[in-house]
Amino acid sequence: MSEAPAIDPRDLRHAFGRFGTGVTVVTTRADDGEAHGATVSAFTAVSLDPPLAQVTLMRSSKLSRYVEGRPFAINVMSLSQLDTCLHFAGKPMAGSPAWGAGTTGVPVLAGNAATLECRPWNVYDGGDHAIVVGEVVSLEINPVEPLLFFGGKFHHLGGLVGGSPWEQCGDGHGGQWFAGAESLRVLAPV
């Protein structure tokens, strides 16, 4: 059996970058109680019941050490928050980020497209990253355009593709593949 060729990390990063994502800043309190955050594009929904969300953090980041076992917030960045996003990615902005008032005591940013306040659920090994899952205990949604990231650059939403927007998956959470199919009849076994 031949060994698979080694994957060049630059090529892998470029391939990952072909997947467009939203942009989040994950915030929590540091050991001294001060608010701390980091820009993160590796965010995903995990479960509706229980309500779980996941972020993936570099193990070498301070945030990775602060989040384990502590409440945190996932701040989904709005288009108007590019400076804030860059600030938490290591490019300090003039002034300081605008902080908001969360409901659980976790530091949250102001002006987000959405905010999910989480309590710790579990942390999983993800190689050079930690996969952090939190239980969403509070959320806020704002009618503003989200900030997007694709190919190493920031973007905004474009138009709809292919007609009407997708409202619901056909095979989960109450969806029925054949809803409205009045002429559907069950076939008898042969």
Residue ranges making up the domain that contains 118? 9-155
In a domain, 148, yes or no: yes
In a domain, 107, yes or no: yes
**Structure confidence at residue 139 (pLDDT):** 95
Instruction: Please state, as a whole number, how many other Cβ atoms lie within 10 Å of the Cβ of residue 24.
Output: 31
User: What CA–CA distance (Å, rounded) separates 98 from 109?
Assistant: 6
In a domain, 16, yes or no: yes
Average pLDDT of 20-26? 91
In a domain, 176, yes or no: no
What residues pair up with 52 in beta bridges, in sequence order? 47, 135
For residues 124 and 133, the answer to whether their CB atoms sit within 8 Å is yes
For residue 49, what are the contacts with CB-CB under 8 A and spacing of at least 6? none
In a domain, 144, yes or no: yes
User: What CA–CA distance (Å, rounded) separates 132 from 130?
Assistant: 6
Lowest mean pLDDT among 60-74, 105-119, 128-142, 164-178: 164-178
In a domain, 139, yes or no: yes
In a domain, 14, yes or no: yes
Lowest mean pLDDT among 5-19, 30-44, 58-72: 5-19
Q: Read off the pLDDT of residues 77-97 as tens digits, 9 standing for 90 and up.
A: 999 999 999 999 999 988 899
Token output for 85: 């996003």
Burial of 32 (0-12, 13-18, 19+ CB in 10 A): exposed
Compute the mean pLDDT over every residue in the chain, rounded to the nearest whole number.
Answer: 85
What residues pair up with 53 in beta bridges, in sequence order? 45, 134
**Structure confidence at residue 73 (pLDDT):** 97
For residues 114 and 179, the answer to whether their CB atoms sit within 8 Å is no
Average pLDDT of 37-65? 91
In a domain, 3, yes or no: no
Q: Read off the pLDDT of residues 116-157 as tens digits, 9 standing for 90 and up.
A: 999 999 999 999 899 999 999 999 999 999 999 988 888 898
Phi/psi at 43 (5° precision): -135, 140
Question: In CATH, what number is assigned to the domain containing residue 54?
Answer: 2.30.110.10
Average pLDDT of 53-65? 89
For the chain, what is the domain count?
1
